[in-house]
Amino acid sequence: MTKYVIRGGKPLYGEVEISGAKNAAVAILPAAILVDGVCRIENIPQISDVTLILNIIQELGADVRTINRSTVEIDASRVRNILVPDVLTRKVRASYYFAGALLGRFGRADVALPGGCDFGGRPIDQHLKGFAAMDADVDVVGGIIEARSHTGRLIGNTIYMDVSSVGATMNIMLAATLAQGTTVIENAAKEPHIVDLANFLNSMGANIMGAGTDVIKVRGVDRLSGGSYSIIPDQIEAGTYMAAVVATGGQLLIKNVIPKHLECITAKLVEMGAKVEEMDEAVRVTRTEPLIRTNVKTLPYPGFPTDMQPQIVACLCQAEGTSVLTEGVWDNRYRYVDEFRRMGAQIQVDGKVAVIEGVDHLTGAPVEACDLRAGAALIIAGLAAQGVTEVGQVQHIERGYEDIIRKLSGIGADIHVVITPDEENHTQAAG
């Protein structure tokens, strides 16, 4: 078994470079299926979710060329396969974007229901409703989403989203790009990665307006031609390193960011007593004073991101006084709280509300990551704690953070990977 072993209690100093946005990459890469030509995609994060998405693209018949560590070229002109099997989708939730991309290009798609982090009910009903509104027959048979357009090409329509769903907004955009006529998505989600997907598609020849607002209009085009595109920096990765320095103390220069995307995170960290200096493509975060309690409610963008909820809890655990955190997006995002309690945190959860009583210090303990962001939060807690913390189930963390051990070690963290002999032997035997 692989673990991260952390000796905590050291402040963080130095600078860290942020990778491309996970949530943008896992939609933009499937979008390449819509392109009739070669598209070059840059600033791709090296994370396991991206590897899995690229595997699916190859499995569908596209040619994928790795140019360098963060750049690929995809030629999907020879793709004919419309089936994305269960063995690939169960490992990555974003595999559902292949439904929109394949349906948009071929008028047909068979995509097994996805896996990924489990936060309780994460239905895909809004995705399916959008496809149906564009004249597709949609059914879920034996765990596979089967979608068929009646004419071989989707027809644009006005779609009102019952909830502001990021995944559904992006999937409908993908499906609508090559549809006949205009699709209007009302009550659309506004997250930065939605804007990034729209910009990618537009750079390939799509006609999408309004991304970043609650009404997106997609005028269908006959084809997308190739081109180059660079993915935006990762808002959540940047926020995670901001939270890490606020939890441990110290000063970090966080480079390759879009400060505007971070304002919702910055505001809360400043309320807690941190100093944040914004530059053109970087932020400098400093924390020298004791942390102050605050209340946080997670909301869709531009509100405080749900994907930063566990990381800010790692900070609030050490703030003076009582903080109240309300989860406004997912039903079941507090499963990690028991792991924090092992480290001495005082947290009470009632439904979507967590009451956090600040403690003098956290204490190192063996803990398990139950999902991607909770895993990152446990690392932060370990960095701030006294003593040694061992974080297990790190495969969750590697889904969304490129080179996290190297990056943290570079700013003064005492963190390293330990692989137990059992796993080493198994790996050798398998090789």
pLDDT exceeds cutoff 70 at 146: yes
208 and 252 in a single domain? The answer is no
pLDDT value for 123 = 74
Q: Answer whether residue 162 shows pLDDT above 90.
A: yes
Q: Do 240 and 149 share a domain, yes or no?
A: no
The answer to whether residues 321 and 290 belong to one domain is yes
pLDDT tens digits for range 287-321 = 999 999 999 999 999 999 999 999 999 999 999 99
Instruction: Choose the final residue of a domain: 195, 230, 265.
Output: 230
Residue at a domain's end among 230, 257, 281: 230
- Contact (Cβ atoms closer than 8 angstroms) between residue 266 and residue 254: no
- Band (pLDDT 50/70/90 cuts) for residue 114 is confident
Nearest CA among 109, 114, 110 for reference residue 90: 114
For the domain that residue 293 is a member of, what is the CATH number?
3.65.10.10
Split at pLDDT 50, 70, 90, the class of 115 is: low
Of the three residues 201, 230, 259, the one that is the final residue of a domain is 230
Question: For the chain, what is the mean pLDDT?
Answer: 94
Residue 241's pLDDT is 98
The residue segments making up the domain with residue 396 are 2-19+233-430
pLDDT of residue 330: 83
Do 126 and 210 belong together in one domain? yes
Mean pLDDT of 41-56: 96
Identify whether the C-beta of residue 93 lies closer than 8 Å to the C-beta of residue 117. yes
Kindly state the average pLDDT of the residues 125-147.
93
Asked whether residue 88 carries a pLDDT value surpassing 60, the answer given is: yes
Higher pLDDT, 90 or 349: 349
Q: Are residues 184 and 286 in the same domain?
A: no
237 and 172 in a common domain: no
Does 281 share its domain with 225? Answer: no
Please say if the pLDDT value at position 119 is more than 50.
no
Distances from the Cα of 366 to the Cα of 17, 139, 317, 389, angstroms: 29, 44, 18, 6
* Cβ–Cβ < 8 Å for 119, 103: no
Q: Is the pLDDT of residue 134 over 80?
A: yes
182 and 253 part of one domain:
no
Q: Tokens standing for 246?
A: 């606020």
Structural domain total, the chain:
2
Shared-domain flag, residues 245 and 381: yes
Position 143 confidence tier, pLDDT thresholds 50, 70, 90:
confident
My answer on whether 164 and 271 are in the same domain is no
Q: Do 199 and 264 lie in a common domain?
A: no
Residues tagged active-site: 117
Task: State yes or no: pLDDT of 431 exceeds 90.
Answer: no
CA 154, 157, 159, 165 torsion-angle sign? positive
- Are 267 and 352 contained in the same domain? yes
Is 343 within 8 Å of 387 (Cβ atoms)? Answer: no
Q: Are 4 and 390 in contact (CB under 8 A)?
A: yes
- Cβ 70 vs Cβ 402: under 8 Å: no
At how many degrees (to 10) do helices 235-248 and 263-271 cross?
10
Give me the count of residues in the chain. Answer: 431
